Structure 1
Amino acid sequence: MIVPLYFTFDPSGFVQAMEPMTAHRLGYTVEAWIGKLGLALFHAEDREQFLQLLAGETQQATEGGIVRLMTRDRQVLPVRLRCHTMQGMDGNKMLMGIATPLSDAELSAATRKQFPPIDWRIYQAIVERLPDSAVLLFDTSLRYVLVGGNAVAETGFTNAELQGQTLWQVFPNTTCEQLEPFYRAVLAGHEDGLEVTYSDRHYRLRGLPIRDEQGQVTAGMVTSQDITSLRRIEQILQYQAETERRHRLVAQTSAEFSRHIRHSLDLEEILETAVTQVQHMLEADRVLIYRLDENNAGKVITESVCDPSFRVSNQLGVAHIFPENCRQLYQQGGAKAVNDTHEEFTDDCSNCGLSFGARAKLIVPILSQEQLWGLLIAHQCTYPRIWQSWEVDLMSQLAGQLEIAVHQSSLYQQVQRLNTDLEQKIQIRTQQLQQANDFEATLKRITDKVRDSLDEDQILQAAVQEVAIILRVMGCNAAIYDTEAGTSTVRYEYTKSALPYQGRVVRLNAFSEAYDQLLLGRTIQFCSLIPNPIRGLVATLAVPILDEKGVLGDLWLVNHKDYKFTEQDIRLVEQVANQCAIAIRQARLYAASMSQVRELEKVNRLKDDFLSTVSHELRTPMSNVKMAIQMLEIALKSTNNADNNPNRLDRYIKILTEESQREINLINDLLDLSRLDSGAETLTLSSFQFNEWLPTRIHAFEEQAATHHQILQFDYSPGLPPINTDRAKLDRILTELITNAFKYTPTQERITITVRALPEHGEATALQIRITNTGVEISPEEQAKVFEKFYRIPNNDPWQHGGTGLGLALVKELAQHLGGSLILTSRDQKTCFTVELPLQPWDIDPENSTASLPLRFEAAGEASSSPPGL
């Protein structure tokens, strides 16, 4: 299959496009032919036909035109060429060629054509077709044989003058040095290009070797195109691109520096970064920051150099006098650029250290809160320099960023100072709180130790030892005053020295300067003037131990002579002294009260012994009196005198009998109470059925109830469990309580005896006996006293029975002795005594007559564990 070849030419004959298959078929690449003169593609005899196509003589597509294309290896490729004109993208005329390889029959006729010699007329036609370019054809001796186009304008010679001239005769040596290698390369068969500058204009050269019929290069053709305007456009575009790049670079550098400022609060680091970036961006020899203060003094604080020889390290930190006119100049915020310090007159204060031998310099002020803080300076040290506007912009923007950094650093330093002050205050406050806590803990520990004892020596020992250890002093002692004798005795001492003072007695008037102040309750602190033989000179703190009644003694603390007792030390010792005063006063009160207690115990024992002795001594005579009364009654009844006045005699005898029995009962009660109080009373336990035993005891009171028109009721459960207790003492409790109820119950009122078992965990463990009488109420004040010995409720006995006031006191003791409890409630004209007794004897403490269930009182429906008001 025959594949056509495609290529496109511009009106000058230069190849603008080529099908890749076409280029491959001809042995080239597409890039090798783009922009090259297409004439070399054709056989020498067929080039005129191609020129005619370029001249536009063939307006329609040619049919059947046979031309010969030349491959890279100099092979002939006969093709049938069809060409037609077309409009390019730029609007210019373009020529498209479609070359179809010949068939075998056509190929044999075409190959019979011979290569003719070079026809210079063909090239003359090309030259005439290129009026906008200079075309120069030269032979192997670099002599121009054909000139055309605008060569006259470019070389300054006419075309006729250029004919026969050599390269060296036309161009100066500098240009020939560039052109000669290029011409030689063309003659060597290379199609090459070159750009040269001649007479301040730029030209683009294209070289094409010209071959003879044998394919040998016999001449070369160079086309020259003036590209000065193009280069100027390129320079403008390049300048614009460079300007845009520099602006982007300035903005990027400013942004990066701004981010660095936001992420760093170290001003020194920020300044070092600034001078480093500026020196790198401007490629300056030296960039530094010059710091100004309020006293018109300036100094270099940081720098960045491209070479160590440009450093001004010997000037870092050295202050210079900065004139006021320079301050005013830069205070306005304007930048100053000096391109050459040798030629430009300046009044920029070179003597104050802003030049340091620089040849060119750029200075930008750094402001802080509208005040001149310093200068950002760039130096070119070895040669002058024209500072560009973008460089000034870069310096100005960085100076603005430095203004922010300086202000930010100033604020940060203020915050740091405030934080430091706050931290110091917090630390001081924390230390104070810790010291206060330690003080309170120490004081509490010392107070607890002091209060734990009621012995004066132990109190003083604990206080002295704790204070000496806490305050780390050389020694501490406590003394007690005897104001009547005028002496102070050291009762306890804690010391690290070998000179003890414990037990030493000092007269108060022997050191009146100190003791006069102490006796007035004042704390004193002083240093000794006369050195002690062992301790030497010491610092002393003396604190009085005093309370509202006066000074009891003192606490003395000594330490080395350079020590000063702080306010906290003094306050601690004073508080300890106050606690010692309280503890000593309590100890003394305790000792006095214990002495009184011992005296009272002694008196109580004497009273008990007296009562017991008197009771025993009275009991025998009263028994004899009772017996004598009985014998007298018998004797009188046996005599006649008994019939004379029997009523009077019976009344007298009855009186004697009742009073003697009353005295005997009183003596028996006293003896029972005495034995119960002393724990000498024993229990005689027996088990019996309470519901069978109780009715026989109540039967004796039924007649008395009828006599006084009182209502007696008895209520108990039939299935009461048996009780194991002292029957005689239980009988005494019931008798006293029932007698007491009859005694205080008015006529027509009710006396109720209720008995029930008290269960615990589903099993009866105690027995409850309630004796309630109505029509009478005991006030709360009286309820607390009815169990006291010899106490009788005033004006509450409607029957005037009287009594000794020992009955209820004896009942209380007996109930406790049996391990029970006694409850009194009185309200709403009802009075109730409730006795609770355990069913088994193991609830009773045989070693102590104290009941396991305590005595209780209940008033207005509320129970309490102790009598109200006591």
Structure 2
Amino acid sequence: MELHSFEQRMETIQERISSLAQFAEQLSADQAAILKTSLDELSSLTKALPTPSNNDISSNNQDAQFLICQSEEKLSKIFQASPIAISISTITEGRFIDVNNSFVDLVGYSREELINHTVLELAIWPSAEDRKRLIELINRQGLVRSLEAKYAKKSGEMRDALVSVDVLEIDGERCALAFLNDITERKQAETQLQQLYQQTQYQVQRERALNRFTQAVRNSLDIDCIFATAAQEIGQMLQIDYVSILQYVPQRQIWLNVAEYEQQLGLVPTGVGMEIPDADNPLAARLKQLEVVRIDNTQVLNDPINSSLAEEFPGAWLLIPLQYQGNLWGSLTLSQRNSPHTWQDSEVALGCAIADQLALAIQQSELYQQVQQLNANLEQQVQERTQQLQRALSFESLLKRITDKVRDSLDEGQILQTAVQELGLGLQVKRCETALHDLAQQTSAIAYEFTAVPHTYSGQVVPIAEYPDVYEQLLQGQGVQFCPIYSRSQTNGEPEAIFSYPISDDHEVLGSLHLCKTPQAYFDEAEVRIVQQVANQCAIAMRQARLYQAAQAQVQALEALNQLKDDFLSTVSHELRTPVSNMKMAIQMLKIAPSIERRQRYLEILQMECTREIELINDLLDLQRLESQADGIALEETILLPDWLPSVIEPFRSRIQERQQILHMDVPADLPPLISDHTNLGRVLAELINNACKYTPAGHQIILSTWCESESLAIAPTPQPVIALRVRNQANIPAAQLDRVFEKFYRVPHADPWQQGGTGLGLALVQKLVEQLQGVLQVESNNGWTTFTVQLPAQPQIL
């Protein structure tokens, strides 16, 4: 054995041992331990070899040769048993020189198929370029460690391997000792892990983006701000060309664009405020079914509504319904200009998540708006309630003030004036007035008024028939609110809103309160209630005032009656005592009269005073009888006045002539018959003529006239002719005395030119007799004449 060959063999063994040791780290811990043990044994074996010399070689050292062969055999076993696929190939051609069992198992080729064949012939490497790159790397570095590369199995399956290459020189040729460790499963695990990591990172980014979006839209509770922020955040988050938010308005059957975001301004027209029809819109129908609509290319749309929109907003659309609480609110529309664009599930999922958050933000905003509205409503209610309480306190104070004032007064006028004044100021109305009703005349007169305008209606009398519906309710004790329609003849007929309420007690309606406002206003419940209460207080105060006035009138009447009684007793005593005194004196003078003439004179005086006494007593008795007589006189006698009146006048002719008075009679011959009582009628005429003679100076006239009137008396039950009898005399009665001429025992002072005297009962008796005859007695005195007129029904009522 030559020295050179021995050294080469030793060097080759040591290089392989070194390479195997270097790449043992690629094995698992157990495999590396086994290989390291084997290499250590091999290394110990090679170190035990003696260093050969030329003498040894020449002496044919059998022991050294044996140990080298043993080392090579041991190395071959280690090479074949290595769990790592190992191949030895030429660097230039890539021809396999040797491969171990692990390599055969790894590539799927047999040992025979591999030896003396190149890598490219067997297509173990995917391409010549990859092998060329590996050779360049080996030539440049000499040693290649842990290079990831692809290799092909005999089946054509591509696998991943971790390649380490060391350079050996075998028989003078540079060879590559390659170690292949299959890392396909690890690479797949790493790929899966990388994908999982990317998914996790994507999920984290998505969650962060959603959080940013949620925070952005929830930082504001203003719906417009939410829309604008949401559209912008969605566009920037998903890198969407155009984003719009549509609100579904079912009442109007439209979809309203409420917000939009455009990544590059000016490419599409603004759509805010745009209304998209809902009817006959297939995309809208799908959205209302809560379906996510993907349109990869808007050119495929053929319905009139959406194809028209596609012309303005071309590209790919993603329509996501916005809903909460099971109700459709609207939609989120994402649009990419580049089409066709396939919407990925991740984009749809993120869009749906954003839509859910946007729907929650919309719900939160609407709930906030509802809360704000509820708070505003509550605040408004509190303010209104406070105003109502303040108003109620004001009205209560007003009512107390009016009540105190009207109850402190017994003057009806002051009561009503106070009520309208305080009520008008307290309610701040245009006009407040009170009216008193005259049901007999069917009129209503404005008695007292408070007004804030120059025009006044005070004193105006309104016929009840002019407002029948209004007064019908007032007279029934009910209030009424109305706007009257003024006639053209009415001055200043401005339209008004009027509330009227009756002033009534348990017995009758005394009047009414009228409050006027402009026609745009009205009287609310509180104002109506205060008017009702004021009207009730006025009714109580008016009833008290009238009761007081009635009591005062009764007191005055009793005082007058008492005075009349005193006057009556005084007059009667005087009138009775005077004739008695004259009769007593006449009797005394009669006893001492010296002659028959004187005795006759005293007898005449005695008879005259006795007659006067009897007449006075008869007048008193007749007057008392007429006043106490419950039933009327039976008027059944037919009187022909032209024939009957001369007999009534005849007893007064001598007195009239004696006093040089002038008597005229005007009695038409065609007067109709008069049904009456001739005794009482005769006494009436006798008293009137006697009264005329008594107060008419000499040379003055007395006129008796009679005629028939077509008008009936107010007291007559049915229309019928009236017979009038008039006695006039030229004498004047002062106006202040005229109303008292029918009082008992009253005589006009200083008006009897003949000093005839009398009891003052004649005219009082005439008045009572005329009433019994169902007639009317009137007196007037002017221009030097005094006239008494008696009107009697031609056909009196039969009692």
- TM norm structure 1: 0.40
By percentage of residues, which structure has more helix? 2
By percentage of residues, which structure has more strand? 1
